[in-house]
Amino acid sequence: MTTFPGATGLVFNEPPLWEMGKPGRCAADLPRRDVERRQIDNAVAGDPPDFPELSEPEIVRHYTRLSQWNFGVDSGMYPLGSCTMKYNPKLHEKLAAFRGFAELHPLSPDSLSQGALKVMSELERLLAEITGMQAVSLQPAAGAQGELAGMLLIHAYHKKKCGRRTKIIIPDTAHGTNPASAALCGYEPIPVKSNENGILSPESIAEAMDDQTAGIMVTNPNTLGLFEEHIKQIAEIVHRKGGLVYCDGANMNAVMGIVRMGEIGVDVLHLNLHKTFSTPHGGGGPGAGPICVRKHLEPFLPVPRVVERKGSYALSSDFPDSIGKLHSFYGNFSIMVRAHAYILSMGADLKRVSELAVLNANYIKERLKGTLHLAYDRPCMHECVFSDKLQKKHKVTTLDMVKRLIDYGFHPPTVYFPLVVDGAIMIEPTETESKETIDAFIEAFKTVAVEAEQYPDQLRRAPGRTKVRRLDETSAARHPCLGG
């Protein structure tokens, strides 16, 4: 009998901050007052903010308790599909906190920012090598902003060629943010269906592609975890009609050292440093979403850019065709430090990362198929997609099963996405999970499937071991209470 990691233990209740403390407490020391108090202009003076007043021990206990209600990668396996929740190396937190980085003002003169600029410049070159692209901008603050940057580049490119275009092709296996990013640029998303094998066929792209279409946004490997085998042919079709190929690189963890997107027809690609390059996700951010482009799109990259001359680095905005700025400064620098350190710690072994990520996913696919319905029975890349089809007869849903998985100590996979699979369960183990952990995860899922037959009610009530049980999201949205 497998002992699963999930167990119950004592957790603490903790009220919101404003139900704690007392007037007169303060959890911070203030610097000594060494200048006289000066009255602020009455016309603009306000009241003190309505904040709670607490002592340092209260603050520490409050946040310690809150943290204990959270599940992180450090707590257990977190197989969220398309999110690449791999281990985040501890050393990198220390490097990003070095005083010379953490306390550096972004508008310090270039001559006094050399180390930071070098971190950026080198990271750009490393990412260009990994993706086979020619130029990189680290400015986008997250994947979706990287997508927006990509769309803006494509828009600027067509405008420069005096050919404004109105539409963009987005396959049903692309990431969820893609249509919204395209819409921000005024493009009408043209949906294209994947074929019976879960990938795009060149014919359907040829049919959708015309001279009003700016290009295609393709996720490769796609959200079914499948490599778009016809990508080169698709790129040719798009290019022949004057369009450009955007690749959502959120799934790059599958193909580092295996495929270089710049060599298979992709014109612009974004990466998620907080996925593939091991920077922590922070409970929802900050991340970083660099964009990598081929030569013909380089003039349009956001400014400022880091330029190197004879070993010294400077920021330059002297790029007249640039789309402009996307970030208050240069992007999420401290995330760049972590990603840079990750790449240097791996070197060419990054290929091993992708191999093991794909190994883990295929292993799960093989061992769970039969227990769960496998949407597309083909060799997968770094993630595999199942559904709740086999459990339907017990009136048990994807949601019921994954909530029960929590009781066994595993974070649920991504669910109900991609939309092409009804009741999708998208599992991405990443390379940092050991065989033992993966075996326990598989065992847990199999146990859940047995429970679906024998005790379906128990699943519908799951999870039972968490601090709170299932929450009523419908009434939360109907009567929103968004602050205390």
User: Are residues 82 and 223 in contact, defined by beta-carbon separation less than 8 angstroms?
Assistant: yes
The answer to whether residue 372 forms part of the interface with another protein (CB under 8 A) is: no
Q: Does 383 bind another protein (CB under 8 A)?
A: no
Which of 25, 392 has the CB closer to another protein? 25
470 in the Ramachandran plot: left (φ > 0), alpha (ψ -120 to 50) or beta? beta
CA angle 423, 427, 432 (to 5 degrees): 170
One of 219, 332, 391, 397 touching another protein (CB under 8 A):
332
**163 contacts another protein (rule: CB under 8 A):** no
Bridge partners (DSSP) listed for residue 167: 188, 213
Any contact of residue 123 with another protein (CB under 8 A)?
no
Q: Give whichever of 93 and 242 is closer to another protein, judged by the CB atom.
A: 93
Question: Is the bond into 221 cis (omega within 30 degrees of 0)?
Answer: yes
Kindly state whether residue 209 participates in binding another protein, applying the rule CB under 8 A.
no
Query: Is residue 9 close enough to count as binding another protein by CB under 8 A?
Result: no
Distance CA 240, CA 389 (A): 41
Which residue in 323, 268, 270 sits closest to 301, CA to CA?
A: 323
Contact at 8 Å (CB) between 233 and 220?
no
Binding-site member from 4, 134, 189, 443 for another protein (CB under 8 A): 189
**Does residue 135 touch another protein according to CB under 8 A?**
no
Q: Cα–Cα distance between 470 and 461 in angstroms, integer?
A: 8
Contact residue for another protein among 236, 314, 321, 351 (CB under 8 A):
351
Number of residues that bind another protein (CB under 8 A): 202
Binding residues for another protein restricted to 463-482, rule: CB under 8 A: 463, 466-473, 475-477, 480-482
CA neighbor of 127 nearest in space, from 392, 343, 352, 421:
343
Closest CB 204 distance from another protein, rounded Å = 18
Question: Least distance to another protein from the beta carbon of 436, Å?
Answer: 8
Using rule CB under 8 A, residue 235 touches another protein: no
- 196 contacts another protein (rule: CB under 8 A): no
- Report the alpha-carbon angle 412-416-422, nearest 5: 130
Q: Which of residues 397-416 bind another protein (CB under 8 A)?
A: 402-403, 406, 411-412
Please pick, from the candidates 7, 8, 26, 369, the single residue that binds another protein as defined by CB under 8 A: 26
Q: Which stretch binds another protein (CB under 8 A): 81-89, 369-377, 384-392, 421-429?
A: 81-89
How distant, in Å, are the alpha carbons of 8, 10, 215, 287, 412 from that of 397? 25, 30, 37, 32, 13
Can residue 323 be called a binding residue for another protein (CB under 8 A)?
Answer: yes
Q: Applying CB under 8 A, which of residues 73, 234, 238, 452 lies at the interface with another protein?
A: 73
The only residue of 234, 337, 396, 426 in contact with another protein, by rule CB under 8 A: 337
Residue 320 found at the interface with another protein (CB under 8 A): no
Report CA-CA distances (Å) from 257 to 164, 475, 482.
Answer: 36, 48, 46
Kindly state whether residue 456 participates in binding another protein, applying the rule CB under 8 A: no
CB nearer to another protein: give 3 or 474: 474
Q: How far apart are CA 28 and CA 68, in angstroms?
A: 24
Burial class (CB in 10 A: 0-12, 13-18, 19+), 206: middle
Cα–Cα distances in angstroms (integers) from residue 383 to residues 214, 354, 371, in the given order: 30, 11, 17
| Of positions 124, 267, 433, 451, contacts another protein by CB under 8 A | 433
End-to-end CA distance of the chain: 46
State in angstroms the smallest separation of the CB of 291 from another protein.
13
At 404, which helix (H) or strand (E)?
A: helix 398-407
By C-beta, is 399 or 449 nearer to another protein?
Answer: 399
Subset of residues 275 to 314 that bind another protein, contact rule: CB under 8 A: 278, 280-287, 289, 302
Taking CB under 8 A as the rule, does residue 21 contact another protein?
A: yes
- Write the interaction track for another protein spanning residues 87-106; mark x where CB under 8 A is met and - where it is not: xxx-x-xxxxxxxxxxxxxx
Under rule CB under 8 A, residue 183 binds another protein: yes
Q: Does 422 bind another protein (CB under 8 A)?
A: no
Q: 197 near 176, Cβ under 8 Å?
A: no
